[in-house]
Amino acid sequence: MKEKNKQTIRRILAYIGKYNIWVMVSLLLAVVTVATTLYAPILIGQGVDLIVAEGNVDFQALFSILQKTAVVICVTGAAQWLMNHINNKITYRVVKDIRTKAFNHLETLPLRYVDSHKHGDLISRIIGDIDQFSEGLLMGFTQLFTGVMTILGTLGFMLSVNPLITLVVVVLTPVSLVVAGFIAKRTFSMFTLQSRTRGELTALVDEMLGNEKVVQAFGQEEEVQKRFEEINERLRQCSLRAIFFSSITNPSTRFVNGLVYAAVGVAGAIAAVGGRLSVGQLSVFLTYANQYTKPFNEISGVVTELQNAIASAARVFELIDEEAELPDDRDAKKLQDAEGRVELDHVWFSYTPDKKLIEDFQLSVEPGQRVAIVGPTGCGKSTVINLLMRFYDVDSGSIRVDGTDIRDMTRRSLRSGYGMVLQETWLKSGTIRENIAYGKPDATEEEIIAAAKKAHAHGFIRRMPQGYDTVISEDGGNLSQGQKQLLCIARVMLNLPPMLILDEATSSIDTRTEIKIQQAFQAMMEGRTSFIVAHRLSTIREADVILVMRDGHIMEQGTHEELLEKGGFYAELYNSQFAIA
């Protein structure tokens, strides 16, 4: 744990190192602030010594000291304001750099990682944990620099006035440090647990918000509430423990600081009575004793916040350290003007090593062929699509497009060669026009409308409040599932790439519209290699070849009529959908 903390701190310092000039300016201003703050008590002490007795006051010298004090106070205020402004700039630039790095790295992570982690937890790391980190870092900059310098500066000034009393202060100082260190060690693990539990709660809330209709439809509100309350209770408990231990740091150090102040007062009073210290110098010493102990209270609070910040930063760095998707080879080819010849040669693949899925899969698709993939749930249909798009790489074997292994192509060019319409729709926050033109931002208005008409989406779009300029949310707002799917189909219609993947593309569309969409698909698939995944077997009768999959293997292969004549597994699936009860 200690080594991990050190590594995290080193990485934070590396990010701060980019702003060395600003850090140096901040340190310089901290020196000015501390120096002027410590010089003020000396002036006040000199003023006290000028007030000897009634009728014996040197008002001229006292007025001069008051002028100096006013200047010192103004310089202190200006330096402190400027230092805080620079510290804010450093902190939020560092936070911006780390958040940008985390988000950019998230974009490079393989889908295997994203699929195997709760999305809410990933969001919590990039948003919540970095916010926690920024608060601790800002407090560290604002109070740690000045606190340490105040301690050192105060000791220096006190030594110049009376070394003996200074020795009393130094002897009692380690007690405060021991107390703060003892508590800080125990708070880090608690803040780490708090951060993880917060991510778990964020993941649950994100999951429930995205599937609230399903929760209500199946009457699972109480069960979800119980899960939420259980995690929330754990968050409450670990938060209270972390806050309790961190909160006793300040009172503990204040108690020790009170002892220091009392010891200075007693020792100073004895020295003043013995004539070794003037009343003004005693007042200076008491002020210094208070200023000396105050940073310990602040630093103890800073240490607690820094523990929280380090714990949060460690979770963000865990994300950044995840192995990125293997980059394209330097000599990777770009897929251009693809004919659409696709070959899967002895492909083996599984999501987890202990659970086999695709085994020795072989398939050869000629340009312009329509290949339908059918089979029971979990047989590997969508997995084949993931492999074709290279969302996942095969474990062994190869997939070739136009004779070239897709691992020797750039991912961007490969994926731009496919048009995808999935069962799960995806829309981004923006206008309907922007959503249709997502894959072709430079599309003209005429092209967008033509694509919408082909997808039979133009009619309902015209009825929207602002037509194509209607703004929708990322989940589609008030659009029906069918309307959202029509927009996704229009998106593909606009690009018309050489290869198509239709994964349950019409599953959320009514029968009447589906007939029209199928007609549009027939025109769209003309001369294009197409892969069609469908549960409704009535939609794939016109396919050139139908692959019947089961447990990762091709069980049967042929046209619709050929497979029915065989009377095998496909015939069983087909007849089961049209059986008369």
- Is the CA virtual torsion 374, 378, 384, 389 positive or negative? positive
Q: How many CA atoms lie within 13 A of 292 on its CB side?
A: 28
As assigned by CATH, the class of the 2-198+241-321 domain is mainly alpha
SS3 for 32-70 is: HHHHHHHHHHHHHHHHHHHEEECCEECHHHHHHHHHHHH
Chain mean position to CA 174: 40
Condensed to tens digits (0 to 9), the pLDDT of residues 158-182 reads: 777 778 777 777 777 667 667 666 6
- Mean pLDDT value across residues 189-208: 80
The share of the chain scoring above pLDDT 90, in percent, equals 2
* pLDDT at residue 252 greater than cutoff 80: no
Condensed to tens digits (0 to 9), the pLDDT of residues 481-507 reads: 778 888 888 888 888 888 888 887 666
Q: What secondary structure letter does DSSP report for 424? A: S
Average pLDDT of the chain is 80
Can you give the pLDDT at residue 506? Answer: 67
Query: Vertex 140, ends 137 and 146: CA angle to 5°?
Result: 150
Q: What's at 184, amino acid-wise?
A: A
- pLDDT confidence tier of residue 82, bands split at 50, 70 and 90: very high
Can you give the pLDDT at residue 507? Answer: 64
Sequence-separated (6 or more) residues with CB below 8 Å from residue 212: none
**Cα gap 122→203, rounded to integer Å:** 8
- pLDDT confidence tier of residue 118, bands split at 50, 70 and 90: confident
Can you give the pLDDT at residue 471? Answer: 86
**Cα gap 286→266, rounded to integer Å:** 10
- pLDDT confidence tier of residue 262, bands split at 50, 70 and 90: confident
Condensed to tens digits (0 to 9), the pLDDT of residues 526-579 reads: 888 888 887 666 667 778 888 888 877 778 888 888 888 888 888 887 777 665
Can you give the pLDDT at residue 1? Answer: 57
Can you give the pLDDT at residue 581? Answer: 39
- pLDDT confidence tier of residue 78, bands split at 50, 70 and 90: very high
Residue ranges covered by each domain of the chain: 2-198+241-321, 342-577
* pLDDT at residue 384 greater than cutoff 60: yes
- Mean pLDDT value across residues 409-423: 85
**472 three-state secondary structure:** strand
- Is the CA virtual torsion 53, 55, 60, 62 positive or negative? positive
Can you give the pLDDT at residue 238? Answer: 83
- Mean pLDDT value across residues 285-299: 72
- Is the CA virtual torsion 39, 40, 45, 51 positive or negative? positive
Can you give the pLDDT at residue 508? Answer: 62
Strand-pair partners of 158: none
Q: Which CATH number fits domain 342-577: 3.40.50.150, 3.40.50.300, 3.30.230.10, 3.30.70.1380?
A: 3.40.50.300
What are the phi and psi torsion angles at 380 (to 5°)?
A: 115, 10
Q: Please report the beta strands in 454-562, taking only residues with DSSP state E, as ranges in sequence order.
A: 471-472, 499-503, 529-533, 545-550, 553-558
**Cα gap 386→389, rounded to integer Å:** 5
The pair of structure tokens assigned to 505 is 């593309």
**Cα gap 138→144, rounded to integer Å:** 10
Q: Which residue has the tokens 């048009």?
A: 419
- Mean pLDDT value across residues 398-405: 90
- pLDDT confidence tier of residue 16, bands split at 50, 70 and 90: confident
Whether 210 contacts 283, CB under 8 Å? no
**Cα gap 364→261, rounded to integer Å:** 86
**Can you spell out the DSSP letters for 342-410?**
EEEEEEEE-SBTTB--EEEEEEEE-TT-EEEEE-STTSSHHHHHHHHTTSS--SEEEEEETTEEGGGB-
* pLDDT at residue 53 greater than cutoff 60: no
* pLDDT at residue 56 greater than cutoff 70: no
**Cα gap 181→357, rounded to integer Å:** 53
